[in-house]
Amino acid sequence: MTQPDLRVTIGGLVFKNPVLTASGTFGYGKEFAPYVNLHHLGGIVVKGISLEERRGNPPPRIVETTGGMLNAIGLENVGLERFIAEKMPYLRGIGTRVIVNILGNSLEEYQRLGQRLSEIEGISALEVNISCPNVKKGGVAFGTDPAMAEAVTRAVCAHSSLPVIVKLSPNVNDIAQIARAVETGGAQAVSLINTLLGMAIDVKSRRPKLANIVGGLSGPAIKPIALRMVWQVAQAVKIPVIGIGGITTTEDALEFLLAGATAIEVGTANFINPRASQEIVEGLARYVTDNRLNNISEVIGELVLA
Amino acid sequence: MNQCEEQAEIVRNEQLAPEIFRLTLTAPEIAWHAHPGQFVMARISPCYDPLLRRPLSIHQTIGSHQIQLLYKVVGKGTRILASLSPGQKLNLTGPLGHGFDLAGTQAVCLVGGGMGIAPLYFLAKEIMRATTPPKCIVLLGARTAVEFGPLPQDFIDIGVTKIYLATDDGSLGHHGYIAELLHQHLDFHPWTVYTCGPHPMMKAVVSQCRKQGWECQVSLETMMACGIAACLGCAIPRADLSGPYLHVCKDGPVFKAEEVAWL
């Protein structure tokens, strides 16, 4: 029997399957090596990298909610040069595509990140984070204004030879409009959604449960919203869409593919079931075999209406 | 890296006190690799409600195949744990984190409060196993006598001879905080103090150790989602309040008292 064909193409790159791991939920890959055969995955998106090392927000940083969790990590990361020196040697050997999520405070910072990472061997693509709700400067400021989103995309594309994926914020009025703007800016793909801005209060102390007061909601609770947005964006742009938001099972992944996503990212599920991403790869393979498909891409956008 | 994911089978789930339980599981991989002070992340529900795994210190290993966890019912997750019966499975990841450091200790004092007693028993077993165990004093605190359950006797059964108790309500032992007993029982030896329990208790213990010049190791607890340094949710400030945060899951849960800030 031949291996089920799960290959998908994004930004001219062939991925062995459409299952990636979402930035900030999979460390720098190594953390999950005891649990997952990393080379079985379509790719991994590493923790967001900024030019300088970031300390992140003060604790408490996370809180569990019904069907989800709020986080306000604040993009704690080792910084660009330490990432290249300390994390890339391991990542080059994992046998799957490495996508680096980048975050800047200014257009110039995004440019410098794109430029420097293009010189580094072993990186397949960039995911430009214009959607983190937990930092004061940059991040979401770029992701909520179509003109700014387009400008950031243009800046990174002009200074980088790597395919550029732009990660979109759901905390906007019209996500399709932002998606069209980054497509115009030259993005090869969009990924969505980042977390939804939320809040939780301890009624005993009457204080917010997060030191940052507000944080990003992720997990199964946000899946219907993410799915709706992926469907809307897939109608609005010609570039591939990568679906993110509460995916924990193969069935969840298939829903996103049917809604028009070319690939998906597994996020919060990694914390609870460290093998979730690999199990979804295996589940999609069974689906292709059971339904006698030639390739998983035969389900992409095949939502049946009426 | 010796951590793994294991479908542990429940052997016993004993109620020790009104809200306190001791769970015995068959988990050979984790039992084999575990060190005192390490923890596991227990997946409470095979579905995603409650969503997150719960961190629980390893209370002891039994032989090469079993581990014990001690927990108090405080919310939805622990209530589900309390309802599990022998034969059922509990998915664990572990052993996780950096445990207690036992090197070169001559006289040790273990100070535990409430569920903080859990990892100290594993540590005491390790200490008493030595051919010539160091001088060892155990101080245990609880809100009320009944909450100790059989735990003080467990320490006596492994050869601990100097064990002192304190309760908040005076129903057993010293009426007051366990930290108040430190100076009564510890002379001016170069003691190594190991502590785990509520934050105010540990803070009091650390402050006395600092005054006396005793080495002190603390086992900390925070909210965490993954236990493997991916979520970065378990950040705590360093002693000087600057530089990158420490992460309880990976840099701890056991720290030298002077590494962390006591706010």
Give the pLDDT confidence of B49-58 residue by residue, as tens digits: 899 999 999 9
What ranges make up the beta strands (E) of A4-93? 8-10, 13-15, 19-21, 43-49, 62-65, 68-71
- Set of chain A residues whose Cβ sits within 8 Å of the Cβ of B199: none
| Inter-chain CB proximity B235 and A71 less than 8 Å | no
- In this prediction, residue B263 has a pLDDT band, given cuts at 50, 70 and 90, of confident
Q: Are A225 and A196 in contact (CB under 8 A)?
A: yes
Taking an 8 Å cut-off on Cβ atoms, the answer to whether A270 and B230 are in contact is yes
A306 confidence band (pLDDT: 50, 70, 90): confident
Residue of B nearest to A247 (CA): B48
A133: pLDDT confidence band, cut at 50, 70 and 90? low
Question: pLDDT, tens digit, for every residue of B108-135?
Answer: 999 999 999 999 999 999 999 988 888 9
Q: Which domains, and CATH codes, for chain B?
A: 4-96 (2.40.30.10), 107-219 (3.40.50.80), 221-263 (2.10.240.10)
Confidence of residue A1 (pLDDT cuts 50, 70, 90): low
- Percent helix / strand / coil, chain B, rounded to 5: 25, 35, 40
CB contact under 8 A, A271 and B5: no
Name the residue in chain A with its Cα closest to that of B223: A62
User: Taking 90 as the threshold, does the pLDDT of residue B79 lie above it?
Assistant: yes
Among the options A102, A123, A132, A284, which is catalytic? A132
How large is the C-alpha radius of gyration of chain B? 18
Identify the closest residue of chain B to A46 by CA–CA distance: B230
Which tokens sit at B102? 């036992």
For residue A31, give how far its alpha carbon lies from the nearest alpha carbon of chain B (Å).
6
Q: Is domain A8-56+75-198+218-299 annotated with CATH 1.20.1630.10? A: no
- Cα→Cα distances A97→A14, A46, A124, A169, A253, Å: 9, 11, 6, 24, 19
State the average pLDDT for chain A.
95
Mutation pick from A44, A209, A247, A272 vs chain B, by most beta carbons of B within 10 Å, is A272
- List, for residues A138-188, the tens digit of each pLDDT value: 556 788 899 999 999 999 999 999 999 999 999 999 999 999 999 999 999
Interface of A with B (CB under 8 A): 24-27, 31-35, 53, 55-56, 58-69, 71, 73, 76, 219-220, 248, 268-275
Query: With bands split at pLDDT 50, 70 and 90, how would you rate the model's confidence at B187?
Result: confident
**Would you say residue A3 has pLDDT above 90?**
no
Nearest CA in chain A to B48: A67
Q: How far is A138 from chain B (nearest CA, A)?
A: 21
Q: What is the pLDDT of residue A140?
A: 63
Identify the pLDDT of residue B130: 86
Task: Give the pLDDT of residue A139.
Answer: 57
Put simply, whether B231 touches A (Cβ < 8 Å) is: yes
Q: Which residues of A touch B245 (CB under 8 A)?
A: 55-56, 59, 76
Summarize pLDDT for A77-108 with one digit per residue, the tens: 999 999 999 999 999 999 999 999 999 988 99
Look up residue A240 and give its two tokens.
């591939």
Has residue A137 got a pLDDT over 80? no
A-chain CB neighbours of B1 within 8 Å are 33-34
Domain spans, chain A: 8-56+75-198+218-299
Closest in A58, A219, A271 to B230, CB measured? A271
Task: Tell me whether residue A157 is one of the annotated catalytic residues.
Answer: no
Residue A287 has pLDDT above 60, yes or no: yes
Q: Name the least confident of B55-69, B180-194, B199-213.
A: B180-194
Closest residue, chain B, to A61 (C-alpha) = B233
Helices A107-118 & A146-159, crossing angle to 10 degrees? 30
**Residue A136 confidence (pLDDT) above 60:** no
Strands B20-26 and B4-17: antiparallel
Residues of chain B with Cβ-Cβ distance to A55 below 8 Å are 243-245
B47 confidence band (pLDDT: 50, 70, 90): confident
Please give the DSSP secondary-structure letter assigned to residue B189. S
- Pairing state between β B215-219 and B254-256: antiparallel
Using a pLDDT cut of 90, give the percent of chain A over it: 93
Interchain contact, B53 vs A271, CB within 8 Å:
yes
- Best probe of the A interface among B2, B221, B223, B234, by most A CBs < 10 A, is B223
Distance of CA A281 to the CA centre of its chain: 17
The predicted-structure confidence for A179-232, as pLDDT tens digits, reads as follows 999 999 999 999 999 999 999 999 999 999 999 999 999 999 999 999 999 999
Percent of chain B surpassing pLDDT 70 = 100
Query: Of A61, A83, A134, A135, which to mutate for an interface test with B (greatest number of B Cβ within 10 Å)?
Result: A61
Amino acid A45: pLDDT: 98
CA of A218: which chain B residue's CA is closest? B51
pLDDT at A142: 84
Pairing of the two strands B246-247 and B254-256: unpaired
In chain B, which residues have their Cβ closer than 8 Å to the Cβ of A25? 230-231
Q: Cα–Cα distances in Å, from A144 out to A174, A183, A196, B116?
A: 9, 15, 13, 46
Is beta strand A19-21 parallel, antiparallel or unpaired with respect to A43-49?
parallel
The pLDDT value given to residue B105? 76
* pLDDT bucket at A132, cuts 50 / 70 / 90: low
Give residue A284's pLDDT: 98
pLDDT tens by residue, B132-181: 888 999 999 999 999 999 999 999 999 999 999 999 999 999 999 999 99
The yes-or-no verdict on residue B26 having pLDDT over 70 is yes
B-chain residues near A53 (CB < 8 A): 244
Pick A271's closest partner by Cβ from B49, B52, B244.
B52
Tens-place pLDDT, residues B227-247: 999 999 999 999 999 999 999
CB contact under 8 A, A271 and B4: no
Three-state DSSP class for residue B222: coil
pLDDT, chain B, mean: 95
The shortest CB-CB distance from B51 to any of A35, A56, A67 is to A67
Q: What is the pLDDT of residue A138?
A: 53
ipTM above 0.90, yes or no: yes
Q: Which of B45, B52, B199, B260 to probe the A interface (max A CBs under 10 A)?
A: B52
